[in-house]
Amino acid sequence: MIKIGILGDIGSGKSYVAQRFGYPVFDADKEVVKLYKNNFKVFKKLSKSLPKFIYSFPINKSEITRAILANKSNLRKIIKIVHFEVRKKMNIFLKKNKNKKMVILDVPLLLESKINKKNDILVFVQSKRADILKRLKNRNHFNNKLFKKFKNIQLPLEYKKRKSHYIIKNNFTKKKIKRAVKDILVEII
């Protein structure tokens, strides 16, 4: 099975690109949302670790946001608890799709969490900073302070770009993305 990891900046269009490959996608962000909504064990761990902030189940996103903004170490505590569960979900996804020709890993902290393997193919989604900020500001509940906290825990974009096998320049047009993905698939398969 070929595993393709999608890398890039927050808001660069990683999830959109991941979906364009036409193979099963593991979307870590969606898994986190499910964990907050449905996993009481995660709630218990988070509420024990951050009792001043996490106190209702299902976990309210505003509680997570307040915890992250209140203290530098809170984001690390959340990541430690949540990423363990996300990694388990990813392993289930990989087992379920073991007979597929290819799977796509849409995991924002793929390199930071050391989730990727040496023979995985990495695709970097590159977008102009101005386009990213414009898109992010249009998102519901966009919080610039939260955005900066997440940026601080990520590896530099230039490092991710250097580690990548392919770069897709995303100008947010369907035609260009479709062509770039097709070119990558032709080369890989």
- Which alpha helices (H) appear in 139-173, and where do they start and end? 144-153, 157-163
Higher pLDDT among residues 171 and 18, named by residue: 18
Inter-CA distances, 147 with 47, 93, 137, Å:
23, 28, 11
| CA–CA separation, 125 and 122 (whole Å) | 10
What percent of the chain is modeled with pLDDT above 70?
A: 100
Q: Each residue of 86-106: pLDDT tens digit? A: 999 999 999 999 999 999 999
Q: Using the predicted structure, report yes or no on whether residue 140 has a pLDDT greater than 80.
A: no
* Mean pLDDT confidence for 45-73: 94
Q: What is the DSSP letter of 111?
A: T
Could you give the CA distance from residue 143 to residue 11 in angstroms, rounded to a whole number?
Answer: 13
Q: What is the pLDDT of residues 21-56, one digit of tens each?
A: 999 999 999 999 999 999 999 999 999 999 999 999
Tell me what pLDDT residue 34 has.
Answer: 96
Domain 1-24+100-189: CATH superfamily, name plus number: P-loop containing nucleotide triphosphate hydrolases (3.40.50.300)
Q: Which residues pair with 167 in a beta bridge?
A: 124
Sequence ranges of the domains in the chain:
1-24+100-189, 27-96
So what's the pLDDT on residue 183?
A: 96
Q: Is 39 helix (H, G, I), strand (E, B) or coil?
A: coil
- Average pLDDT (156-170) is 95
Confidence at residue 145, expressed as pLDDT on a 0 to 100 scale:
87
Burial string for 92-113 (b: 16+ CB within 10 Å, else e) reads ebbeebeeeebbbbbbbbbbee
- Supply the pLDDT for residue 171: 84
pLDDT top residue among 55 and 189: 55
Alpha-carbon distance of 103 to 98, in angstroms, equals 9
Pair type for strands 121-126 and 166-169? parallel
pLDDT tens for each residue of 102-138: 999 999 889 988 888 889 999 999 999 888 888 888 8
Q: Report residue 158 CA to chain centroid gap.
A: 17
Residue 4: phi, psi to the nearest 5?
-115, 120
Note the pLDDT of residue 21.
97
Average pLDDT value for residue range 66-81 = 93
Q: How many Å is the maximal CA-CA distance in the chain? A: 52
Q: What angle do CA 168, 169, 174 make, to 5 degrees?
A: 90
